[in-house]
Each structure stands twice: as structure tokens, then as C-alpha cells.
């Protein structure tokens, strides 16, 4: 499958791997992202070409959807069917550029890829391709609930969520679609260990796994 080509097969050329950085985000985070049908989805991509600025390459902006592959069409600023190269040209620094900003996409799993391969021929070339991806799940649920995190104990540490929505610290509340699974991780700033969890069905010192079936509050004793 082509999915395996993107995800598992490509071996990055070491001459480029440490120097050229592509990035794709959905609604801000690197993902995975879960939204409800009807929610807005904004996908942005950026590129740091490092010392390879000006070198020719194939640019790939594609998405695997429940309905097959689509590619971003630059002249039309739209998405077209097929796994087809988006642009053929020299590398340059691309500041975050929005390639999709819409709502109402059908439910299902969408994987957005931004890749550049250094053999400019319109083909997907292994060995000289590097890419980033973000997974977006669109659910049929219309209910959303807040997950609120607080810190107990000394409060010196940080609690983060697997999707990047919570970084508490400073961002301690996030809204999630009903049925979403969120993994919370505690990172103590000082001391050898994390103490425990309270709330959300969590206990012990490992990760806290919360399924959002209602508004939930979790305290991490850091």
C-alpha cells in the first residue's frame, strides 16, 4: 500500500535528514487530533531547508482519507484526487502556510503529509524523501466536554496531554469530543518521582488515561 511507502519504507538520506525540517500541524498541535463532524479543521505546513535552500525537489502535500488519496493543488488553492506531486521547484523557507481551513468534513481518519524528495522528477523517490505527518480523526459525536487538570503537592512539575492540548504549567483545560481518549503525563521539576493521580479514574504513578464521557477534572500531585 502507498501508506506503507510513506510511513514505513522511506529511508532518509543522511545528507538531508539532519538539515531539512518539514512540519505539518492540525489546529495547532502536531497531533493526533480528534474533532467532531462540523468542527473547523485548519492544516498548516512549514519548511526549513537548512543549507539546501535553492536545491530542486519534489514537494508533496497529500492526505489519505476514507475516500482515497488527495493532493493539494497550488494554482487552484484546493484539493484534488490522486497521489500526485504538488510542486516541482527549488527549496525555500516556508513559514506556516495554511493549506486547508474548512469544516463539515465527513467522519473518518485523515492523515496529512508534507514531504520533500530531492530527486525532482514528479515521482515519489525513496531514499531522498523526508516528511512529517499529522493524524486527524473526525467523529460523529457532537458533544464535547472539558478536561481540567490541576496540580497538587508542591505543584512544581508539569502535566501534558498526548495531543498537545494541555500543558499545565499554563494551559490546564482543553475541550474534547465525547469518547476521546486522552493520555496525561506528569513531569516533576524537582524530586526523583511523581507522587500520584486523583480523579478521572486514575491512580498510581504511571500515565493517566482518561476517556471523555463527561466533564472531567484530574489532579496530578507533582
The DSSP letter of residue 163 is T
pLDDT in tens, 83-98: 999 999 999 999 999 9
219 CB contacts (<8 Å, ≥6 apart)? 149, 150, 151, 152, 197, 198, 199
Q: What is the pLDDT of residues 156-183, one digit of tens each?
A: 788 999 888 899 888 899 988 888 889 9
CA pair distance 172, 69, nearest whole angstrom: 36
Mean pLDDT, residues 187-198? 72
The answer, yes or no, to whether residue 127 has pLDDT greater than 80, is: no
Give residue 11's pLDDT: 40
Q: What is the CA radius of gyration of the chain?
A: 20
Q: For 67, what's the count of Cα atoms within 13 Å in the CB-facing half-sphere?
A: 8
Per-residue pLDDT at 63 exceeds 90 = yes
Amino acid at each position: 500500500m502507498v501508506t506503507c511507502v510513506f510511513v514505513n519504507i522511506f529511508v532518509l538520506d543522511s545528507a538531508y535528514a539532519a538539515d531539512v525540517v518539514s512540519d505539518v500541524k492540525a489546529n495547532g498541535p502536531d497531533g493526533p487530533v480528534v474533532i467532531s463532524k462540523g468542527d473547523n479543521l485548519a492544516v498548516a505546513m512549514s519548511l526549513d531547508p537548512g543549507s539546501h535552500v535553492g536545491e530542486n525537489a519534489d514537494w508533496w502535500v497529500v492526505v489519505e482519507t476514507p475516500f482515497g488519496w488527495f493532493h493539494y493543488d497550488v494554482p487552484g488553492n484546493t484539493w484534488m484526487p490522486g497521489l500526485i506531486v504538488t510542486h516541482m521547484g527549488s527549496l525555500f523557507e516556508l513559514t506556516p502556510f495554511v493549506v486547508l481551513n474548512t469544516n463539515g468534513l465527513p467522519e473518518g481518519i485523515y492523515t496529512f503529509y508534507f514531504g520533500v524528495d530531492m530527486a525532482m522528477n514528479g515521482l515519489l523517490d525513496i531514499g531522498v524523501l523526508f516528511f512529517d505527518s499529522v493524524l486527524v480523526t473526525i467523529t460523529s459525536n457532537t458533544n464535547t466536554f472539558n478536561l481540567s487538570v490541576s496540580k497538587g503537592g508542591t505543584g512544581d512539575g508539569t502535566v501534558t496531554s498526548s495531543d498537545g492540548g494541555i500543558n499545565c504549567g499554563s494551559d490546564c483545560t482543553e475541550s474534547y469530543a465525547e469518547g476521546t481518549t486522552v493520555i496525561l503525563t506528569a513531569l516533576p521539576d524537582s524530586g526523583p518521582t511523581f507522587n500520584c493521580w486523583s480523579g478521572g479514574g486514575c491512580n498510581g504513578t504511571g500515565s493517566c488515561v482518561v476517556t471523555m464521557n463527561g466533564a472531567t477534572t484530574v489532579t496530578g500531585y507533582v
